[in-house]
């Protein structure tokens, strides 16, 4: 690879090989940033109205790359006629899952200090997943609708409703314990996974509405989406694919448009981009 020239500038020697093509660092960055820009610009909603974005950030490589890419487009390009940034303002939102996954303890604080030191234009919102039991989330009208999408037996759904409706003062358990119980008592793994995504999504949606965001950016990459797509089809739920993996979903929720600007980006590309530009999480 060392001797291969970059396919774009033809002058620099390549440092990256992606999809059988060789790039130097500069041309790779240019191409990658361009892909993000065109994904965002393909959104009809953003073409109509620039607005506040909630960046859903798990702390994984694709979400870290998304923060960096977004920050590039929050400044006004002096060459543009219209003096408005593609993304005028944004907040980072992280759902802390350490109640479910012990090994994630402390990662929320790490992410927060990274965002606060590196991206002063972004504000950070951390929300523990067990806060789902708080009235501000469970009381949201869209919330029940989201939970109803969970597959699994009727028993699973009844259990879910039961746990959700249990008033906090009637149980001596902590919210974290209630969250763990909720998952432990569901039989099917697919139902668990659905519940996990639906809780996360319901929380992001509630926070986006509260913060006055017009958009939610999710960082699903193409590698991740391929896995998701295969799971959905093999579960016989192919019908929900547009909502689950589409670039832009605006018909499902009033006021908030969901966008996946990292669509068609490979895990390898994001790893490379993070190594060059964004601080990785590990
Ligand atoms: Zn080059």
Q: How far is the CA of 15 from the centre of ligand 1 (A)?
A: 9
Q: Which residue has the higher pLDDT, 19 or 249?
A: 19
Q: Which fold has domain 42-276?
A: Rossmann fold (3.40.50)
Distance CA 120, CA 24 (A): 30
ipTM above 0.95, yes or no: yes
Question: What's the gap in Å between 108 CA and the centre of ligand 1?
Answer: 37
Q: 235: pLDDT confidence band, cut at 50, 70 and 90?
A: low
Q: Where are the domains of the chain?
A: 1-41, 42-276
d(CA 200, CA 249): 17
Pairing of strands 21-23, 16-18: antiparallel
Check whether 40 has a pLDDT greater than 80: yes
Is 90 exceeded by the pLDDT of residue 34?
yes
Find the 7 Cα to ligand 1 centroid distance in Å.
Answer: 6
For the chain, what is the total number of helices (H) and then of strands (E)? 12, 8
By the 10 Å C-beta count (0-12 exposed, 13-18 middle, 19+ buried), 7 is classed as: middle
**Listed residues: CB within 5 A of ion ligand 1:** 6, 8-9, 12, 24, 27
Q: What is the mean pLDDT of residues 8-26?
A: 91
Could you tell me the distance, in angstroms and rounded to a whole number, from the CA of residue 69 to the centre of ligand 1?
20
Q: How far is the CA of 122 from the centre of ligand 1 (A)?
A: 31
| Ligand 1 center–CA 9 separation, angstroms | 4
Distance 36 CA to ligand 1 centre (A): 19
Q: What is the CA(268)–ligand 1 centre distance, in A? A: 18
Adjacent-strand bridge partners of 52: 89
What is the distance in A from the centroid of ligand 1 to the CA of 264? 21
d(CA 142, CA 161): 15
Residue 269 CA, ligand 1 centroid: distance in Å: 16
Q: What are phi and psi of 99, to 5 degrees?
A: -65, -30
Burial degree of 38 (CB within 10 A; 0-12, 13-18, 19+): exposed
In this prediction, residues 52-76 reach a mean pLDDT of 93
Name the more confident of 240 and 272.
Answer: 272
Q: Is it the case that residue 160 has pLDDT exceeding 90? A: no
């Amino acid at each position: 690879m060392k001797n291969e020239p970059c396919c774009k500038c033809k002058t620099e020697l390549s440092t990256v090989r992606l999809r059988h093509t060789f790039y130097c660092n500069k041309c790779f960055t240019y191409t990658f940033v361009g892909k993000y820009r065109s994904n965002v610009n393909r959104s009809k909603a953003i073409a109509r109205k620039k607005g506040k974005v909630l960046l859903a950030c798990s702390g994984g490589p694709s979400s870290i790359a998304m923060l960096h890419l977004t920050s590039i487009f929050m400044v006004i390009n002096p060459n543009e006629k219209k003096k408005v940034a593609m993304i005028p303002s944004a907040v980072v939102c992280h759902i802390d899952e350490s109640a479910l996954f012990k090994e994630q303890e402390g990662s929320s604080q790490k992410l927060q200090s990274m965002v606060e030191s590196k991206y002063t234009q972004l504000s950070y919102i951390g929300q523990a997943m067990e806060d789902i039991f708080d009235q501000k989330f469970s009381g949201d009208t869209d919330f029940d609708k989201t939970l109803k999408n969970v597959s699994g037996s009727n028993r699973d759904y009844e259990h879910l409703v039961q746990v959700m409706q249990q008033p906090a003062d009637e149980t001596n358990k902590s919210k974290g314990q209630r969250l763990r119980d909720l998952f432990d008592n569901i039989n099917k793994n697919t139902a668990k996974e659905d519940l996990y995504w639906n809780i996360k999504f319901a929380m992001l949606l509630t926070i986006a509405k509260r913060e006055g965001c017009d958009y939610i950016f999710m960082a699903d990459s193409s590698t991740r989406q391929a896995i998701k797509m295969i799971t959905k089809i093999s579960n016989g739920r192919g019908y929900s694919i547009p909502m689950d993996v589409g670039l832009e979903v605006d018909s499902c929720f009033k006021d908030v448009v969901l966008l996946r600007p990292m669509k068609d980006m490979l895990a390898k590309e994001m790893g490379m981009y993070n190594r060059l530009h964004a601080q990785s999480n590990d």
